[in-house]
Every structure is written in structure tokens, then in C-alpha cells.
Amino acid sequence: MLVDRLTETGQFLACSRFDPHLFSSPIEFSLANGVNVAIPSPGIIQFSPANQASKDIVLSCGVHGNETAPIEICDDLVSRILRLELCPRQRVLFIFANLPAMDIAQRFVEENMNRLFSGEHANSTAAQNQERLRACELEKVVGQFFQTGTSESTRFHYDLHTAIRASKNDKFAVYPFLHGGRHSHEQLAFLLACGVNTILLSESPTTTFSYFSSRQFGAHAFTVELGKVYPFGQNDMSQFAAVIKTLEALISEDHLSLPPFDSEKMYIYRVNQVINKHHHDFKLHFEDATPNFTDFEKGHLLASETGAEYRCEFDGEAIVFPNENVAIGQRALLTVVPTQL
């Protein structure tokens, strides 16, 4: 009966959010087109095609519960697969990460989940909470998904977000630190096809979901920011046409044919400063509405707190993800400078 409900309505996310007990034990079934469906837990659904696949793809959304556009995009893809309107030819794992935060339309309930991966959830000095438990579960699910693929498969993880503020570069992606590994031009071409023309190269290990998949499983992994946060139902979905079409093709085609990487069409930045908040009086020295990737001159005062001033070290150094309301010890601002790949 549950299977009929899912395949008729496609409402996996709604069932996960409002009737999570339906998935209190794992379920598995096949669609009429031979695609195997496995649901290990609410908000997590894996599709495995009958044919031999060459790609293992993780699409995650809702790591921040109020970032609705990616949740709506993934919900629609899952729904269409369940209703046989879209047939996956690659293995794909969809993750709706923070279901309780979606219900209260907040970024998180207790703690920013995207600071809890690569084992940070088990950091024993912090109290247990639902974000830590979920991050631990997601690590296991992703690990199992990648490890049960064939050894020839290529691994991908796109962790889809929207930013709190507007951005001069509307859609951008964070490329996790590769520890000396080569950046993939093919992946940059893929992101450009999604409408993502700005790439930020991270230069240190971190506790994000995309770094976890990149580091632990050698996946091509990215944190992808698709625009600005709006409430459910208020997103202009036409702004996401390119990303939806490209993700559909990634899932449902044997081979993607994309225009080759063109450095002229992309803006690439490297992280220059990671500025953490150490005191309650931490203050940003620019307007709250300042868009991401706004740049300043060398020497410009960006932020201050007791005992420290943070200034631009280069002309054209730009701000990303400013948030003076983070917890003490957490990142309040990144600065980036243009680079080439």
C-alpha cells in the first residue's frame, strides 16, 4: 500500500516529513521499468537501474532546512522517477538531509549540519543532538552507496544549497580541497551547463558534506549554491531550468555531451582568508545587504572584534558567506581572490 502510494503520487518527501513512521524500517521495491528503489530511512532514497551503470551519483539537499529551491528540485526529480516519468540509467542516491529544520523553516534546529561531517558529529565535547545523529547516519548511507557501486563507476556528489544573501555571481560552487589532486575541467564544464559560472577553490580540509565525499570516497564533489533563500513555493523555478535539465541528463543518459571547459566563461576564486568569530563583539564593516563576491581594495577594513582587525590583503579581494551571528569559534566570513585553473 505504501509502495502504491509512492508510485502513484510520487510524494516521497511529503511522506518523509509528515509520516516518517512509514519508513521506520528500511523498504525496497522495484518500479515497473525495472529500477530498484531502496529507502533506508526517512528522506533518503536510492534508485538503481536494471542496466549496468557507470556513475554513482549523490544529490543532497536540505542540509540547511530553509534552502528550499534545491529541496523542490530534488523532490520533483524523485517524484518523476517514482511515477515513471523519468528513468534513471545511473545509480542515484537522493538525500533530504535536515527534515526537522524544514518543518520550522530554519537553517537548522540545534546546529549547522554542514560543520559536522568527516566525524565532527562525534566530537565528544559537544552535546548530542539530531543534527549530529543525522550527519552520522548520512555518512554511513553515502559510504555504503559508494562502496556498493562497481569499481569502474565514477563517483559524484552535488550538495545543493541556496545562500542566505544575494550574490553578484548568482550561482556558484565550492570545490573542496583536493590535497594536491587535480581539479576536473570536465566537472567545471558540467557546472557551467548547470548555470554555475563561479567556482571557489577551498584550500583546507573542512567538515562539510561535499569535502567528506571528496576526501573519503574520491567523489567529484561540490557544495553548489543555486541562488538566494526563499520560502517553499516562492521560488522562481525558471531560474533553475538549466540545473534541472542538466541533472536530469546526468541521471537518465548513458553519456553526457557537454560543451568543453572554457576558462573565459568561468570566474574562479581561491580562498584567501577564513575569518572566525572569537568574541561576542565581532562586527562586519559593510552593509548587511552586501552581495556575496563584492570586492574591496587592499587595506579595506572588513571586520573587527576585541584584539583584531581583518582587512583586505589584495585589491579585488571579495567577501563570501559573511554572517556575524555565528557561534563563537565558527566561521564568520571568507575572503576570496581571483585565480586560474
**Catalytic annotation, pick one of 111, 139, 225, 317:** 225
Tell whether residue 91 is a contact of Zn ion (CB under 5 A). no
Grid coordinates of 201: 577553490
* Residue 157 assigned ligand-binding role: no
For the bound state, the minimum distance from the C-beta of residue 161 to Zn ion, rounded and expressed in Å, comes to: 3
Element spanning 5, H or E: helix 2-9
Which residue is at the shortest CB distance from Zn ion? 161
Contact mark string toward Zn ion, 133..152, x via CB under 5 A: --------------------
* Residue 324 assigned ligand-binding role: no
Phi/psi at 65 (5° precision) = -65, -20
Tell me the residue ranges of DSSP E strands in 102-153: none
For residues 176-215, which are near Zn ion according to CB under 5 A?
none
- Give 11 or 292: the residue with its C-beta nearer to Zn ion: 292
Strands 198-201 and 301-305: unpaired
Tell whether residue 161 is a contact of Zn ion (CB under 5 A). yes
For the bound state, the minimum distance from the C-beta of residue 70 to Zn ion, rounded and expressed in Å, comes to: 9
CA–CA distance, 108 with 58 (Å, rounded to integer): 21
- Give 130 or 304: the residue with its C-beta nearer to Zn ion: 130
Tell me, yes or no, if 225 is annotated catalytic. Answer: yes
Angle at 134 between CA 60 and CA 91, to 5 degrees: 35
Contact 210, 161 (CB under 8 A): no
Grid coordinates of 286: 559593510
The end-to-end CA distance of the chain, in Å, is 52
- Give 55 or 161: the residue with its C-beta nearer to Zn ion: 161
For the bound state, the minimum distance from the C-beta of residue 307 to Zn ion, rounded and expressed in Å, comes to: 30
CA–CA distance, 152 with 335 (Å, rounded to integer): 38
* Residue 278 assigned ligand-binding role: no
Contact mark string toward Zn ion, 63..82, x via CB under 5 A: -x--x---------------
For residues 222-281, which are near Zn ion according to CB under 5 A?
none
* Alpha-carbon distances, residue 129 vs 66, 73, 115 (angstroms): 19, 28, 13
Q: Binding residues for Zn ion, per CB under 5 A? A: 64, 67, 161
Active site residues: 225
**What are the binding residues for Zn(2+)?**
64, 67, 161
